[in-house]
A and B are shown apart, each in its own frame.
Chain A
Amino acid sequence: MRIALHALPWLVAIGAYFAMPEQLPLLSAIAIAALFALSLDLLVGYAGFVTLGHAAFFGLGAYVAGILGQQGWGEPISGLLIAAAVAALLGLVTAPLVLRAGELAGLMVTLGLGLMLYEAANKAAFLTGGADGLQGVEIWPVFGAFRFDLWGRTAYLYSLAVLFVLFLLAQLLVRSPFGLSLRAIRENPKRAAAIGIPVKRRLAAAYVIAAAYAGVAGALLAQTTQFASLDALSFQRSAEGLLMLVLGGLGTLYGALIGAAAFTIAHHTLSEASPQFWQFWLGIALVALALLGRGGLMGALRRMTRR
């Protein structure tokens, strides 16, 4: 029974490939958003560390993969790995700054660093294309065989496979002693320190891992669209990721998947139905969910299954 429940999202995702061959671009967008929300869940949901600047890693990953593709190295999988490494490096460098400041100030430092990177990318037009975006990205076929096609088949299966692998990895991670120590820190940092958990070091590690995850998500976006632009680094991207995660439910990993899917589909359907006023209906939905449901969609699901 449990195994069936765990397999359900993935069966749905694969079923969607066959059932909705014309919706693949949207499905890829969902997979990428889900990976980004997943990376936030590791940091926000498990470690209890809220960030407003997570798009910095997403955007950095996107630009790294994009620039590699533009400069003649379009091999996608190594591109992902390099993007992850660079994002992790940025995480490693900034973690001490972010963790030094404490809760609210730390939150704002993440925001500040994110905005700084946005401005830097905007000004470094020779490298990033500035406000016009990165042009001329060429990504080679996956495994030298599967080209990124117009229908978005390769893009979707590729994104989904990466999401799946990283999801399994995340699951191992949160169940490991390391993951349990993160939860202890979230519940009570002082007690966690008292029982001998190196709080700052563990938080820094979570921060770096989340950064690498976000970097991969960004790289996926750049590779599947063969384009990178400043909005990948924007505050809106960070905020949207958080919205998806809170919508789905924190600290469950599945919440990230469900939240990303629900948010992206709602956004897409509403804006198609009403290009001018979709924000109104999306806003109503967010307000209602915040007022009614605790623990996001996952919380609501749990309450339903318990009954």
Chain B
Amino acid sequence: MITRRALALATTATLAAPRLVQAQSGNFRIGLILPMTGPFASTGRQVDAGIKAWLRRNGESVAGRRIEILLRDDTGTQPDVTRRLAQELVVRERVKALAGFGLTPLALAAAPIATEAKVPMVVMAAATSVIVQRSPFILRTSFTLPQATAPMAQWAAANGIRNVATLVTDFAPGLDAERAFKNRFTAAGGRIALELRTPLRNPDYAPFLQRVRDAAPEALFIFVPSGEGAALMKQFAERGLAQAGIRVIGTGDVLDDDILNEMGDVTLGAITSHHYSAAHDSAENRAFLESYAQVLPNVRPNFMAVGGFDGMHLIAEALKRTNGNDDGERLVAAAKGLSWTSPRGPITIDANTRDIVQDIYIRRAERRDGQIWNIEFDRIPQVRDEG
């Protein structure tokens, strides 16, 4: 309440007021904040290319307004920079939607800006459950870790795995995954043999995997951020965990499509659960792959790219529903409850939580036509976040 009054005061007190009452025409500006350099640059590049693929496919004009994307780099490690960029985009560039957000801390830092400025904030990559609760203006088109993890625990328990070690990265999404796996797996009668957490920055997996080998569980459940899976799977092979009879299960982040093929034979047979595989068999996905290849040839889109693609779709659909009106509250209201068929399958933006509801697939890494893909073989329909 204080917020609203102060904002009104601030608005009337300055010359900025006339500029705020803009005509509902002209470009619709979207402020896209992503890690484009630094350790998480590949996430930013994928999301950015996903958005470009959508624009290439559907054109840049929506409800009579041209979409204009303003891309900013937050380097992935500095939440205060993310926040400042969001603030600048809203105040100076007058963007009508914020989008992107590569990692949880970055999204959390920017959330108050969305609330205060009343612009929709579409989270396209960050995946901790709690994010959507931090502002009534947040919508999510990526996924949440409990959402992707619970089906994996269910599958493991149903397929005769009784004893599992977990290994997650030590930050909010990792803890989400650890908790979701443990809850679901122990409820189904399984046992957690060992719980390990690796640091977010500069991890070295060898000593952790050695501990897993010593504990000799039937399977190892893994969550690490996109891109980290390669180093982990290498160590997994070198330590001889497979020979010791330990299977790999995990969320799809580990077998990220971006680098899956280069990760090599060590990945074959690994079971993961996720919402998107580039090998998903549908007309929508084939069309997506085609547009994506025009934007970034020689790169396979991963789940980050599809998060960007669908996020752009969500903004465009909401804008169509408001007939080009860019009022933030109206846009969010229009986005709530939207359903469509994404390259990943049918998805819905839950009208109450503003979080995504989607099918989760169980996949096995296999070699097809000389390349390695995550081949989906089981589907759990319309999974909600339960974090």
Contact = CB atoms under 8 A, between A and B. Distances in A.
Interface of A: 21-26, 29, 122, 130-133, 135, 147, 149-153, 221, 225-227, 229, 231-232, 234, 236, 271-272, 275-276, 278-279
A150 B117 contact: yes
A22 B73 CA distance: 19
Interface string B1-37: 0100011001000101000000000000000001011
Contacts of B117: 150
Contacts of B91: 22, 24-25, 150-152
A130 B105 CA distance: 10
Most-contacted residue by chain B among A24, A132, A153 (CB, 10 A):
A132
A133 B79 contact: yes
B105 A131 contact: yes
B149 interface: no
Interface string B75-111: 0011110011001101110000000000011001100
B105 A133 contact: yes
Sorting the interface of chain B by its residue count into under 10, 10 to 19, 20 to 34 or 35 or more gives 35 or more
B201 to A, nearest CB: 8
Given A131-B172, A229-B78, A234-B77, 6 more contacts: A24-B91, A122-B199, A149-B7, A225-B80, A275-B37, A276-B73
Nearest to B113: A150
B208 interface: no
B280 interface: no
Given A131-B105, A226-B112, A276 B90 contact: no
A26 B84 contact: yes
A146 B41 CA distance: 38
B36 A227 contact: no
B72 interface: yes
B80 A229 contact: yes
Contacts of A151: 10, 14, 16, 91
Contacts of A25: 84, 87-88, 91
B16 A278 contact: no
Given A21-B16, A131-B170, A133-B105, A276 B37 contact: yes
B171 interface: yes
A135 B36 CA distance: 25
A275 B71 contact: yes
B116 interface: yes
Given A151-B16, A152-B91, A279-B37, A229 B72 contact: no
B200 A131 contact: yes
Contact of A132 (B84, B88, B105): B105
Contacts of B170: 122, 130-131
Contact of B10 (A149, A236, A278): A149
A114 B10 CA distance: 40
15 contacts: A25-B91, A131-B170, A132-B104, A133-B79, A150-B116, A150-B117, A225-B83, A225-B84, A226-B112, A231-B80, A236-B77, A271-B72, A272-B72, A275-B72, A275-B73
A22 B105 contact: no
A236 B202 CA distance: 14
Most-contacted residue by chain B among A24, A225, A231, A232 (CB, 10 A):
A225
Interface in B170-203: 170-172, 199-200
Given A132-B105, A225-B109, A231 B77 contact: yes
A255 to B, nearest CB: 24
